Amino acid sequence: MRFTANKNKILKLNGGFIFVIVIFFALFLRTYKLDIRPMHTDEAVHAIKFGELLEKGTYTYDPIEYHGPTLNYFTLISAYLSGEDNLQNISEVTLRLVPAIISLLLIASLLLLYTKNNIWLILLTASLITISPVFQFYSRYYIQEVLLVTFSYTSIFTFYRYFLTKKILWLILSGMLVGLTFATKETSIITFFAVFTSLFYFYIISKDFREKIKTPKFLIILSALTAASIAILFYSSFFQNPRGISDSVLTYFNYFNKAGNNIAHKQPWYYYINLILFSKTDLIFYSGIPVFIFTIIGFYFAFTDKREIENIYFFKFIAIFSITQAMVYSFISYKTPWLILNFWIGFLILAAFGIFQLFAMLNNKFLKTILSVFIVLVFVYNIYQLYLTSFKYPYQPENPFTYYQPTPDIILLSNKIISIAEANSDSNNILINVIVNNNDYWPLPWYLRMIRNVAWNNHVPNNIYKFPIIIASPNFEDEIINKLYSIPPPGKKNLYVPLSQKYFSLRPNIEIRGYVQKKYYDFYLRSFENNNL
Amino acid sequence: MLRNKNILFLLSFSILLIFSQNIFAQDLVPIKIDLPKAMFVGTPTNMSIEKLEKPLGKPRPPFLAPKGTKNVALGKTVFSTDDMPIIGEIEFITDGDKDADEGYFVELGPFTQHITIDLEKEYNLYAILVWHYHKQARVYFDVIVQVADDKDFTKNVRTLFNNDLDNSSGQGKGTDWHYVETSEGKLIDAKGEKARYVRLYSKGNNSNDLNHYIEVAVYGK
């Protein structure tokens, strides 16, 4: 008896120690070379939006774009810790640290599921989430999705903790996380729908569940009030913008419309299945099938196994929660790859559960060895794919997780523009005009944030000749040249040269060109020479 | 022999010209210029010259110009302060040939000399490209480029480029920088000036006191 007790203690200690290692490994993966990938359009948009909060101290919720305010407010912490107090100083690393660190919270929060004998299941789940290539990739992405996923899953974990312990603290914490979920992104409505679908299922089919979930009304109200308070706090910009509260509801008119009518992001219903299960390009062969096999096994054990399985409600709940989200997101024609995280995390939890149950079911040592070898191979394969997608080919269009991702061209172009501007004696006031179809010039505003006077256009203005530097889509070139040389009087028509003879792309296959007044180009050449003397 | 060679070059150039005009008639902007091969020979000498731009070491980008812009100086008459060149012919300056070899450049006497190109009618001028001599990494002094409405440069004289920093050539003190001659030629912004006559001054170079021209191309329409 004594030996068994000691053995359990040792196992728990080892499990705890390994869990810490997993967290540190995740920390390394999430934060290593965070600036390896150029800023995506969405990241740049959020970064510039955050700049207003950082510099002016104001945030106004916009019900049309940008999503909820939590990303911006949490970035304040990151900026404060990095000692960066204006947009020009902010780095990609500071911004991306926010989703990266919050993604670790999701992994760490798995400990909330800890009961007596499930430390190895928690470890397995934590490991699978840590090495998930898709979760890793978007944990280094300055958008709301990882925050949404973390807050929604941790709110479930904390609620489950309350379910196990009946301690009010967990219920209040769960309420707070629900509030954060709502304050993160409008698509949280899908999360809530999936939660209620899952709860409804149990309420209908399980008397035992109905008994266990019984919660005093005042606690439910307390939890709901906590959630509402957190959401109000964020949407009202901490009471600076009360209109944000009503806008957080009115926004759904916009998003329901966007979900069905946005042609640019329209994808078939099987888009997420394709994305996660099989993708082969010249550079990467990606497949989530090995993990997904265990997810199916997890589903099987969750719903068909007759044995008394610890935490079975939790896994059943996660199964319905995930599959509901998968169905809703697949049904909506507006699709972006990071949305997959909302249900893929649930699938990973079920995969770990499937593996664990499979081990428990197998009596044969040989079969257990075979399964162990297979699992090790799955882990190695996932880590290798994580390496390919996050570190080796982080911006290449062949990477299945990149989505209209700008290439390092954008950095080269921006650096050249900045160098030309800086070579001028009045570099702070140099005028730049950026002209791109449909105002689709992002992420350039992020990369040119150092320059004060940039005009952003979707047409060629008549005063274009007043701008020493012009950046434009190729289709505007004729009109630009025409206006440069026809509008000013003789003697005032400045000669322009291309910014570079190199092909620059804003995003793959979307060319962008630059033109600079010869005088300014000469200044640049001289500064270049002086720097190299 | 030299004459035959010139005829051959003229023929080749004419073909090139016809071809290039066809291209210009389409959408060829920015304008690309056929450039001669780089011909730096010999050990370069140290250059301690005030306000000196060094060669870029890679091709300069072409310039942008309105459709229909072409070298309006091609084959046009050139006048010079030295009408008895030491080497070559004045006509070489607008023959379209930019090679640095013997037989392609004209050598004018020492001190300040200038050449004047008569474009035969007024043009809107956008750019001027000058090749003095690029067989060596030379710097020519007092490079001044002007346009005017008359041959004697008394009416409506406009200075487009001037690196005569001490006004030793008497056309005013310049603010432009010296530069090293390369096969790229020196690109000068003509600011869209309307003019018939183009004049270029120079006053020797860092290697000797003589003045040289391989080619001057004036882009306008």
Q: How far is A448 from chain B (nearest CA, A)?
A: 23
- pLDDT higher than 70, residue B94: yes
Instruction: Answer whether A493 sits within 8 Å of B126, measured CB to CB.
Output: yes
Alpha-carbon span A285 to A279, nearest angstrom:
6
Q: How far is B31 from chain A (nearest CA, A)?
A: 10
Alpha-carbon span A124 to A137, nearest angstrom:
20
- pLDDT higher than 70, residue B3: no
β-strands B113-131, B194-202 pairing:
antiparallel
Give pLDDT tens digits for A314-373: 999 999 999 999 999 999 988 899 999 999 999 999 999 999 999 988 888 999 999 999
Contacts of A522 (CB under 8 A, 6+ apart): B53, B177
Domain boundaries, chain A: 2-392, 409-532
Mean pLDDT score, A433-445: 91
Alpha-carbon span B148 to B194, nearest angstrom:
9
Give pLDDT tens digits for A125-156: 999 999 999 999 999 999 999 999 999 999 99
Alpha-carbon span A286 to A198, nearest angstrom:
31
Alpha-carbon span B125 to B63, nearest angstrom:
13
- pLDDT higher than 60, residue B24: no
Start-to-end Cα distance in chain B: 36
Mean pLDDT score, A278-304: 89
Give pLDDT tens digits for A91-125: 999 999 999 999 999 999 999 998 878 888 999 99
CB atoms within 10 A of CB A26: 24
pLDDT, averaged across chain B: 81
Any idea which of A427-431, A510-514, B131-135 has the lowest mean pLDDT? A427-431
β-strands B215-220, B113-131 pairing:
antiparallel
Is there a contact between B3 and B97 (Cβ–Cβ < 8 Å)? no
* pLDDT more than 70, % of chain A: 93
Say whether the ipTM exceeds 0.85. Answer: no
Q: Which of A495, A500, A525 sits opposite B53 (nearest CB)?
A: A525
Q: How far is B3 from chain A (nearest CA, A)?
A: 37
- Interface size A-B, in CB pairs within 8 Å, comes to 77
Q: Which of A486, A498, A522 sits opposite B30 (nearest CB)?
A: A498
- For residue A305 the two structure tokens come to 């196994």
Alpha-carbon span A156 to A167, nearest angstrom:
15
> Could you tell me which chain A residue has the CA closest to the CA of B158?
A491
Alpha-carbon span A376 to A525, nearest angstrom:
56
> Could you tell me which chain B residue has the CA closest to the CA of A492?
B191
Mean pLDDT score, A409-435: 88
Q: How confident is the model at residue B38 (pLDDT cuts 50, 70, 90)?
A: low
Is there a contact between A514 and A471 (Cβ–Cβ < 8 Å)? yes
Q: Which of A490, A501, A518 sits opposite B192 (nearest CB)?
A: A490
Determine what percent of chain B falls in helix, strand and coil, rounding each to the nearest 5. Answer: 15, 30, 55
Which one has a higher pLDDT value, A379 or A66?
A: A379
- For residue B51 the two structure tokens come to 């306000």
Give pLDDT tens digits for A472-515: 999 999 999 999 998 999 988 999 999 887 889 888 888 999 99
pLDDT, averaged across chain A: 90
pLDDT (0 to 100) of residue B16 = 45
Domains located in chain B, CATH noted: 2-220 (2.60.120.260)
Q: Which of B56, B60, B126 sits opposite A485 (nearest CB)?
A: B126
Residue holding tokens 């010209």?
B17
Q: How far, in Å, are A520, B74, B186 from residue B183 at the CA level? A: 22, 18, 9
Any idea which of A13-27, A273-287, B68-82, B134-148 has the lowest mean pLDDT? A273-287
* Chain B residues with beta carbon closer than 8 angstroms to that of A521: 61
- pLDDT higher than 70, residue A9: no
pLDDT (0 to 100) of residue B55 = 73
- For residue B54 the two structure tokens come to 């060094």
Burial (CB count within 10 angstroms: exposed 0-12, middle 13-18, buried 19+), residue A16: middle
Mean pLDDT score, B168-177: 93
- pLDDT higher than 60, residue B2: no
Give pLDDT tens digits for A151-193: 999 999 999 999 889 899 999 999 999 999 999 998 999 999 9
Instruction: Answer whether A477 sits within 8 Å of B29, measured CB to CB.
Output: yes
Burial (CB count within 10 angstroms: exposed 0-12, middle 13-18, buried 19+), residue B166: exposed
Give pLDDT tens digits for B106-124: 999 999 999 999 999 999 9
DSSP codes of every residue in A132-189: -HHHHHHHTSSSSHHHHHHHHHHHHHHHHHHHHH--HHHHHHHHHHHHHHHHH-TTHH
- pLDDT higher than 90, residue B215: yes
Q: Count CA atoms within 13 Å of residue A372 on its CB side.
A: 8
- pLDDT higher than 50, residue B26: no
> Could you tell me which chain B residue has the CA closest to the CA of A522?
B53
Instruction: Answer whether A493 sits within 8 Å of B192, measured CB to CB.
Output: yes
Q: How far is B148 from chain A (nearest CA, A)?
A: 12
Start-to-end Cα distance in chain A: 79
pLDDT (0 to 100) of residue B11 = 45
Determine what percent of chain A falls in helix, strand and coil, rounding each to the nearest 5. Answer: 65, 5, 25
Burial B23-54 (b: 16+ CB within 10 A, else e): ebeeebbbbebebbeeebeeeeeeeebeebbb
Alpha-carbon span A244 to A246, nearest angstrom:
6
* pLDDT more than 90, % of chain A: 65
Q: Return the closest-CA partner of residue A20 out of A108, A128, A132.
A: A108
pLDDT (0 to 100) of residue B172 = 94
> Could you tell me which chain B residue has the CA closest to the CA of A493?
B191
Give the 3-state secondary structure of A346-415: HHHHHHHHHHHHHHHHCCCHHHHHHHHHHHHHHHHHHHHHHHHHHHHCCCCCCCCCCCCCCCCHHHHHHH
Mean pLDDT score, A424-430: 77
* Chain A residues with beta carbon closer than 8 angstroms to that of B62: 497-498, 501
Q: How confident is the model at residue B46 (pLDDT cuts 50, 70, 90)?
A: low
